[in-house]
Amino acid sequence: MRKRSEYKGGDNRSKPSKERRVTVGESNTLLPFLFELLKEQSRSSVKGLLSRGQISVNGKVTRQFDAPLNPNDTVGINYGRGKVEFNNPLLRIVWEDDDLIVINKREGLLSVSTDRIKERTAYRILSDYLKECDPRNKIFVLHRLDRDTSGIMMFAKNQKVKEQLQSNWSEAITQRTYVAVIEGRPEKDTDLIVSNLVENKHMQVYVTQDGDGKEAITRYRLLQTNNRYSLVELDLETGRKNQIRAQMQSIGHPIAGDSKYGAETNPAGRLMLHARRLCFIHPVTGEEMRFETRIPEKFTSTAK
């Protein structure tokens, strides 16, 4: 039986101890040596390593910025202690190990950069965080959430894991569940929507009846409704661009706040779509990992 790990909120980051050791080549003092060695990091972050006791010389922790260094001395940098704090109002790390980071993203934050926006993205925030721990660290995109969609998504921390997951995505991802508030009440309380999607020159995805495009499959279930608005849970069997938004529009019940896909109202001042649940087989451990967030309170109150 496959082992299962389940997380419903909270911070479940592992904190492995990692130390980088460097042999001194010529006489110097500690802080200038660190500035040169860690030139990919800001000076303030290098000073932070020193002040937090993450630097050692010949095995002995020191906070002395002008500690003398001689040829063949060993300088150690303990990156494990650099993972104790992460605080950003736009996303929260809900789980982390040596291979993956799972986050809860707020609406309004891009997953990755565009031609116009480079800095304010989940990718850049996490990349800066990892490099603060160790400038050699990198992050790799596995999938995306729309800018105005909130919820669970994950990134890889090395190229091997990225390639393993992306080459086997449909088998590795065991469940992707969203919740949405849609306009009106659907005719059926539950249904399987199967349709073909194409993208026009304006980069808008829509359902086509002529057999072209890519097949998209979504199963929805009604959770609650006041007839004007309905809260639905949606399980994706395929992962096409704007799949949920286009399919909800096609059945006459666009997502509230989604004027691009036909919505006439915006009761929450946002697109009311949230990635609630993500389950996958860990590419290294083989465990089934399950992550779930709460339904946003505004979603339940709108459809009450």
Reply yes or no on whether the pLDDT at 153 is more than 60.
yes
Q: Report, as an integer, the average pLDDT of 180-190.
A: 97
Known catalytic residue at 146 = yes
The pLDDT-based confidence of 9 (bands split at 50, 70, 90) is low
Reply yes or no on whether the pLDDT at 17 is more than 80.
no
Of 51-55, 116-120, 133-137, which one has max mean pLDDT?
Answer: 51-55
State residue 8's pLDDT score. 64
Q: Report, as an integer, the average pLDDT of 20-29.
A: 91
pLDDT tens for each residue of 95-129: 988 899 999 999 999 998 766 655 689 999 998 88
Report the predicted TM-score, pTM, of the whole model to 2 decimal places.
0.76
Alpha-carbon span 276 to 157, nearest angstrom: 22
| Crossing angle of helices 30-37 and 43-51, rounded to 10° | 130
State residue 26's pLDDT score. 92
Q: Do strands 229-236 and 140-141 pair parallel, antiparallel, or not at all (unpaired)? A: unpaired
Residue 227: how many other CB atoms lie within 10 Å:
8
Q: Report, as an integer, the average pLDDT of 179-196.
A: 97
Looking at 97, 99, 146, 191, which residue is catalytic?
146
Q: Do strands 288-292 and 4-7 pair parallel, antiparallel, or not at all (unpaired)? A: parallel
Q: What is the mean pLDDT of the chain?
A: 89
Reply yes or no on whether the pLDDT at 133 is more than 80.
no
State residue 84's pLDDT score. 46
> How many angstroms separate the Cα of 183 from the Cα of each of 146, 171, 203, 272?
20, 33, 23, 10
